[in-house]
Structures are given as C-alpha cells and as structure tokens.
C-alpha cells in the first residue's frame, strides 16, 4: 500500500507531492477549525517576495490580528532569502509565533518565543537599529515588554492579549 493511500484512509490531507498537509480551515490565530467551518484564508506557501513586500504583507497581517499568518510570510523570506539574513527572518517569524501563542493563552510558550525571536533579531540592530526599514531595536523592546506582561498576566489570571491590539510596528517612524 502506498503512503498516499494509507494517509488517505487515515483522513490525512496530502499535497500534490504526497506530503502531509492539513487542509482544515483555521481561525485568525492559526487554530484548526472543524472541517466545513468558515475559516480565514491561509497564506500560500513558498511565495518569494522582496524584503519590502515581505514587511508590508506581514504588517498587514499583524494589524489584522493574524500573527500566525504573518509568521508564514516571514518563513517564506527565510527560506528564499540570502543566508546572511536567515536569522533576521527567523527571528521575526518567532516574534509573530510568540504573539500567536500569547494570544491563544499560552503565556509560557508565548513569552519564550518572544524572547527567543528578540535575541535572534537583536544582532541586526546596528546602523540605527533598522534593516529594510525594520525598527529592530523597537521590536526587541516590544518583545521584552510583551513577554513580561504576558508572564505577569498569567500569574495574575489576566486574559490573553489581543493579537491586533498588541501587534508591533515593524518599521520605525
């Protein structure tokens, strides 16, 4: 029995190359919804964008309260961009996923990813703190402040942060 038919009999979604892909609809924070539910359109995978387009699209998604989807845009950038920028795009993706987890109510995971992402991008804070117009120093501050608030809020029983309200500004100005 081939991998495709075995996966199909177990209800696994596959792409054209036979790789497992979850086709269930998702909400704005990337959580799977029941099959047939109305979800948020997913980001296409493997899109090659220039840096400015990547930042614009990610900011649009962050502003819409969709940090999970913004992370997918950053993931495309790290996979298709120059090796020397990999840490920048991976760090930005981790910041977006950290916000995702925090907004989903996972304070510990959210705070850890925010701090890990801040550590990755901080190496790009030279030259006025901007790369492709990204306010790296501002993002590092934002991540540290949000991680602290999320951790304190978990101890105090506060509600999870709203992803749109907490969305960072990627570009300074």
- Mean pLDDT over each residue of the chain, to the nearest integer: 86
Q: Does the residue 102 lie in any domain?
A: yes
Residues 81 and 4 in one domain: no
Residue 7: per-residue pLDDT: 41
How many independent structural domains does the chain possess?
A: 2
Compute CA 166 distance to the chain's CA centroid, rounded to the nearest angstrom: 13
Q: Which spans in the chain are helix H?
A: 3-9, 51-63, 67-80, 86-103, 107-121, 136-156, 163-166
Residues 64 and 31 in one domain: no
Give the structural domain span for 6: 1-42
pLDDT digits (tens, 9 = 90+) for 80-112: 988 889 999 999 999 999 999 999 999 999 999
Q: Does the residue 137 lie in any domain?
A: yes
Domain with residue 85: its CATH number is 1.10.3450.10
Q: Does the residue 152 lie in any domain?
A: yes
Residue 5: per-residue pLDDT: 40
Residues 130 and 66 in one domain: yes
Do residues 45 and 78 touch, judged by C-beta distance below 8 A? no
pTM of the complete model? 0.82
Contacts of 70 (CB under 8 A, 6+ apart): 57, 58, 59, 61, 62, 96
Q: Does the residue 173 lie in any domain?
A: no
Residues 10 and 91 in one domain: no
Q: Does the residue 155 lie in any domain?
A: yes
Q: Does the residue 140 lie in any domain?
A: yes
The Cα–Cα gap between 134 and 126 comes to 12
Residues 103 and 162 in one domain: yes
Do residues 172 and 133 touch, judged by C-beta distance below 8 A? yes
Residues 154 and 85 in one domain: yes
pLDDT band at 2 (very low <50, low <70, confident <90, very high): very low
Residues 64 and 10 in one domain: no
Q: Does the residue 171 lie in any domain?
A: no
pLDDT digits (tens, 9 = 90+) for 5-54: 434 445 566 556 665 556 788 887 888 878 888 878 777 788 889 999 99
Q: Does the residue 101 lie in any domain?
A: yes
pLDDT digits (tens, 9 = 90+) for 50-81: 999 999 999 999 999 999 999 999 999 999 98
Q: Which of 1, 32, 7 is nearest to 19 (CA)?
A: 7
Residues 70 and 137 in one domain: yes
Residue 88: per-residue pLDDT: 94
pLDDT digits (tens, 9 = 90+) for 118-158: 999 998 987 555 689 899 999 999 999 999 999 999 889 99
Residues 28 and 110 in one domain: no
Residues 127 and 71 in one domain: yes
């Amino acid at each position: 029995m081939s991998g495709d038919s075995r996966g199909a009999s177990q209800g696994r979604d596959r792409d054209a190359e036979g790789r497992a892909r979850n086709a269930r609809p998702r909400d704005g924070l990337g959580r799977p919804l029941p099959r047939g539910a109305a979800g948020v359109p997913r980001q296409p995978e493997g899109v090659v964008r220039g840096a400015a387009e990547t930042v614009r699209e990610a900011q649009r998604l962050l502003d819409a309260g969709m940090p999970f989807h913004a992370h997918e845009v950053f993931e495309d950038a790290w996979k298709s961009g120059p090796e020397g920028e990999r840490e920048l795009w991976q760090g930005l993706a981790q910041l977006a996923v950290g916000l995702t987890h925090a907004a989903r109510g996972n304070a510990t995971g959210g705070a850890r990813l925010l701090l890990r992402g801040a550590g990755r991008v901080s190496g790009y804070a030279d030259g006025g703190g901007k790369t492709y117009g990204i306010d790296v120093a501002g993002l590092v501050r934002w991540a540290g402040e949000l991680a602290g608030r999320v951790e304190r809020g978990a101890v105090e029983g506060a509600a999870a942060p709203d992803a749109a309200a907490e969305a960072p500004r990627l570009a300074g100005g």
